[in-house]
Amino acid sequence: MTVLVLALQLSVPLGLDAYIPTPETNPITRDMAFLGKRLFFDTALSRDRTVSCATCHQPDYAFADPHPRAIGLDGRKGPRRTPTILNRGYGKAFFWDGRAATLEDQVLGPIRNPDEMGMTVEAVLARIPNLTRDTLSRALATYVRTVLAGNSPYDRYIQGDKSALTAQQIAGLKLFRAKANCVACHVGPNLTDERFHNTGAGAAADHGRFTVTRHEEDRAAFKTPTLRQIAVRAPYMHDGSLRTLEEVIDFYDKAEPKPGLDPEIRPLHLTPQEKAALAAFLQSLSGVVKDGYE
């Protein structure tokens, strides 16, 4: 069961729902958010004290990083790209394959992963006095819930400021909603359906959601990411295989239906002008990012 907690105030509107879903057992408090932020940037959470949560989730990079695949201890590369944690307080399942049901579960995963931080929770607790497993989990999850993005030109446009988007961006928005059909997956205030889709991207060896559910329909399906701040957090897709927004648009434009793919994946037949307009619209999804309790 969850309770609704008033979203932390940005200096300008988020353009999202006014509330963040929060477990009754972990309401957002100033003290817990402050502790979570300190832990998020603390390299003591990694085995050799070189890696923190912020190593991959960099505030200056929209809480993602510039690498195609996540890099952890000793330069080890993970199999997938670092997902942004922007607005993850609105999430329904976590990691690219949705293997964590709550943020409280998710935040401990990278600590225990041998290719990321390489620690046990018990080892972390031995290093940091007066910290418990429950407090570690709740504090990190609370901080992540305070990482919010909003007030983009797109938000201002849909809130009534018709000067917020250029004519080209408005044309791109129309394509986003119609011919390009981006809204089949990127829908709602956070521009994600929080579901899993096989788009045909990435290596066949990564089975995605299937590794969690063992349902054949989930093979190579990955979580739809939010598009907030999308223009400033390349590269793209779950494996970082596409370097630019233009490459992403071309990928979907040329897509051919085949067994296993999401039924919405089909050739788009966009013109060069339409591709440029769609890319311009995606630029409008970058706005204000804030974190921490204020």
Residue 265 falls inside a structural domain: yes
Whether 185 and 213 share a structural domain:
yes
Q: pTM value?
A: 0.92
User: Considering only 20-24, 87-91, 223-227, 251-255, which range has the smallest mean pLDDT?
Assistant: 20-24
pLDDT for 20 equals 85
DSSP 171-212: HHHHHHHTTT-GGGTS-TTTT--S-EE--S-S-TT--BTHHH
Whether 113 and 218 share a structural domain:
no
Residue 37 falls inside a structural domain: yes
DSSP 129-168: TT--HHHHHHHHHHHHHT-EEE--HHHHHHTT-TTSS-HH
Whether 121 and 164 share a structural domain:
no
pLDDT tens by residue, 157-203: 999 999 999 999 999 999 999 999 999 999 999 999 999 999 999 87
Could you tell me the residue range of the domain that residue 106 belongs to? 2-149
Whether 198 and 214 share a structural domain:
yes
Domains held by the chain: number = 2
67: domain CATH number is: 1.10.760.10
Residue 220 falls inside a structural domain: yes
Residue 244 falls inside a structural domain: yes
Mean predicted confidence (pLDDT) in 134-142:
97
Would the pLDDT of 113 be above 50? yes
Percentages helix, strand, coil for the chain (3-state, rounded to 5) are 35, 10, 55
User: Considering only 1-5, 13-17, 113-117, 272-276, which range has the smallest mean pLDDT?
Assistant: 1-5
Mean predicted confidence (pLDDT) in 13-28:
73
